[in-house]
């Protein structure tokens, strides 16, 4: 069985410039060194085109489960749970032994990135795992669906809790999260957070340039930059 190799995501009036918003968030993720499918923004900025990461070269699909499924929850409960348990612990419960360490580090980096770019929609369905067959190795899926939600909803908070709260965490809280969940040594965790901060800072000029060339994006771009600076300042 074969399928489409691309997903085309359009934005609607309620959330203007959403495709460009997601594009630049993915650019920051790419700079972090996280695994992503190939993605590109249409010339008019109205669509984000993303290669399917669950489709193999032979046209057959890999197995994919999001974290709603892994937590035995319905889609209606996608905002219920914590990053500590419903995401990181659940990943470790299902991941193959040889992917746990690297996958845990990448998950921590992704959670930190979502916090710093103010993505209040990093819920259970926006994390996933892949496998080639039922008895084969299980690993973390590539990154998808990152958006600066506070560009539209200024008071937005995290989709799941961290340390019992949905408030955006300070850098010290992310550091403590990494240490208590044994992501690595304190120095290694600091290095991960610095890598995320650098990736965000290096992506901001791209947003500024795109906003200058595309006036319709300028307002959303300015809100994104303000949100990102706020995320960096809190760290």
Residue whose C-alpha is closest to residue 145's, from 230, 14, 34 = 34
* Cα–Cα distance for residue pair 65/192, rounded to 1 Å: 26
Distance (Å, rounded) from C-alpha 180 to C-alpha 69? 26
Residues 6+ apart with CB under 8 A from 187: none
Strand 47-51: give its sheet, edge to edge. 6-10, 47-51, 39-41
- Buried-exposed string 123-151: b where 16+ CB fall within 10 A, e elsewhere: bbbbbbbbbeeeeeebbbbbbbbbbbbbb
- What does the pLDDT look like over 41-80, one tens digit per residue? 999 999 999 999 998 877 788 999 999 999 999 999 999 9
Q: In which residue are the tokens 């973390």 written?
A: 140
Per-residue confidence (pLDDT) for residue 58, from 0 to 100: 79
Whole-number pLDDT of residue 3: 53
- What structural domains does the chain harbor? 6-233 (1.10.1070)
Question: What is the predicted pLDDT for the residue at 1?
Answer: 40
> Counting runs of H as helices and runs of E as strands, what totals does the chain give?
7, 6
Residues of the chain with pLDDT under 50: 1-2
Spatial CA neighbour of 113 closest among 166, 62, 169, 71? 169
**Which residues fall within 8 angstroms of residue 191, CB to CB, at 6 or more apart?**
none
Measured CA distances, 69 to 129, 136, 167, 184 (Å): 10, 18, 25, 28
User: Does the reported pTM lie above 0.85?
Assistant: yes
Identify the DSSP state of 142: P
Q: Is the Cβ–Cβ distance between 19 and 90 less than 8 Å?
A: no
Closest by Cα among 128, 98, 235 to 178: 235
Give pLDDT, residue 234: 64
Name 128's bridge partners.
66
Q: What is the pLDDT, as a whole number, of residue 196? A: 99
């Amino acid at each position: 069985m074969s399928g489409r190799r691309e997903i085309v995501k359009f934005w609607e009036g309620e959330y203007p410039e959403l495709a460009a918003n997601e594009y630049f968030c993915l650019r920051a993720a790419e700079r972090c060194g996280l695994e992503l499918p190939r993605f590109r923004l249409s010339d008019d900025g109205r669509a984000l085109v993303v290669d399917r990461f669950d489709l193999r070269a032979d046209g057959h699909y890999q197995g994919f489960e999001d974290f709603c499924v892994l937590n035995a929850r319905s889609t209606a409960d996608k905002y219920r749970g914590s990053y500590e348990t419903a995401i990181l612990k659940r990943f470790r419960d299902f991941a193959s032994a040889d992917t746990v360490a690297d996958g845990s580090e990448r998950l921590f980096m992704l959670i930190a990135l979502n916090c710093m770019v103010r993505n209040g929609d990093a819920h259970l369905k926006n994390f996933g795992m892949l496998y080639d067959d039922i008895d084969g190795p299980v690993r973390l899926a590539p990154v998808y669906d990152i958006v600066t939600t506070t560009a539209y909803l200024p008071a937005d908070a995290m989709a799941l809790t961290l340390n019992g709260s949905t408030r955006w965490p300070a850098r010290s809280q992310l550091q403590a999260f990494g240490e208590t969940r044994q992501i690595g040594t304190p120095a290694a965790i600091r290095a991960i957070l610095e890598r995320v901060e650098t990736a965000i800072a290096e992506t901001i000029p791209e947003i500024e340039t795109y906003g200058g060339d595309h006036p319709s994006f300028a307002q959303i771009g300015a809100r994104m930059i303000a949100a990102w600076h706020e995320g960096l300042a809190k760290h």
